[in-house]
Amino acid sequence: MSNTALLQIQRDLANFKKDPVPHIEVELLDSNILECHFIFKGTENSLYAGGYYHGKIVFPRNYPSKPPAIYMITPNGRFPVNRSICLVSISHEHPSEWWPKRTLSSMLVSIFSFMLDYDNWIHLGGLRTSKTEKKKFAAASLEFNLNDPVVKTLFPDLYEEMEIKFDALLRIQRDLENFKKDPVLHIEIERLDSNIHEYHFLFKGTENSLYAGGYYHGKIIFPNDYPFKLPVIYMITPNGRFSVNQSICLMSISHEHPSEGWQKWTISSMLMSIFSFMLDYNNTRHEGGLWTSEREKKKFAADSLKFNLNDPVVKKLFPDLCKEMKKIDAARRNNGTSKKLTIRFFGRKNGLSDTFKKDSSYFSGMFRLIKLFKILKSSSEEESPRAAD
């Protein structure tokens, strides 16, 4: 290895440490100074949010005259793993495009930019995977990196951060399993397959409440930085108690109040608290609630069936409850439609008619009254000639 290569690598690393790039960490391997390892932290609002991606840059002995080889190690859905990535101008796949004055910082920024440009996968040495697959890779990256001794050695702070997040995810999954073993009356919950941080729930309105007969869909989203940040809670089904598709402000269990000792809460206790707040519809000021009349709440309950049966997430996660809602909706329709009798009163020769639809019991009573009237009229006519005589 030439002194030029050694000096260039050390100088670039020192400059990177002085002026670090957000979401990127880099270290040299102690046993091989020509091997530089990096970790990308997935940016918020991207398909990589919550993910940690380990890779390496292997410099040739005649660096910087010749370009390095770049590898991704953590499965990511954007680049192949443990294979040289073909990136124009910064990899050994395109030596004619290499510019010797490129720095370590500029190379890492370019790789990360290419990674985030997941729509352009053909020309930048990429893989083609779905959005759902990329999100799953992001979630799985924690456990993958925690089993990587190089990550543990070179990035101890990030390793500890990943451990905390992974333990938090395990706790959420454990909470869900415990909820399934010991379910709470009137509450159902399921995890969204495409996002391990998103949990959906359904509340069934209790009898003798303004929500009786209603089904209320909502979700809890645990942030990618959970447990460093708090979950966000939303109601999706219109209900008259909470705003829909807006973060609900509930003391101690939502991101609106980060200092209330929320770490002690489980999924079960969170759902019971939300449901309790919902049932306490007289206290709307302090719990992020709406004020609506009793009549409006009852109407929301009646309309919730149709609303939820048109929700694809509810259909997918709660098929049994959807069957239940369909039966109730059908029963309501049948009960609301009484047996009808149609009586036509025909006019004169033009055949015009008026059609009256009334309840059959009503017409039965009318027929009896008409019959009685005819009898009384007939009796009256028979008595009239006698009176004249």
What DSSP element (H or E) covers 155?
none
> Which residue from 222, 77, 58 is spatially nearest to 135, judged by alpha carbons?
77
Task: Identify whether 227 is preceded by a cis peptide bond (ω within 30 of 0).
Answer: yes
User: Do 303 and 319 meet the contact criterion of CB atoms below 8 Å apart?
Assistant: no
> What DSSP string runs through 175-203?
HHHHHHHSPPTTEEEEE-TT-TTEEEEEE
Q: Give SS3 for 223.
A: coil
3-state helix, strand, coil in the chain (%, to 5): 40, 15, 40
User: Do 200 and 218 meet the contact criterion of CB atoms below 8 Å apart?
Assistant: yes
Q: In the chain, which ranges are continuous DSSP H helix?
A: 3-18, 104-116, 131-146, 149-154, 156-181, 267-279, 294-309, 312-317, 319-336, 360-388
Residues 6+ apart with CB under 8 A from 272: 184, 187
Catalytic position from the list 36, 86, 249, 322: 86
* 267 CA to centre of own chain: 15
Which two tokens mark 26? Answer: 């880099």
**322 in catalytic set:** no
User: Do 141 and 52 meet the contact criterion of CB atoms below 8 Å apart?
Assistant: yes
Q: CB under 8 Å, gap of 24 or more: what pairs does 162-169 form?
A: 162/52, 164/227, 164/228, 165/50, 165/225, 165/226, 165/227, 165/228, 166/142, 168/222, 168/226, 168/227, 169/139, 169/142, 169/196, 169/226
User: Do 62 and 5 meet the contact criterion of CB atoms below 8 Å apart?
Assistant: yes
What DSSP element (H or E) covers 23?
none
Q: Give SS3 for 166.
A: helix
Please list the residues that pair with 218 across neighbouring strands: 201, 235
Which residues belong to the active site? Answer: 86
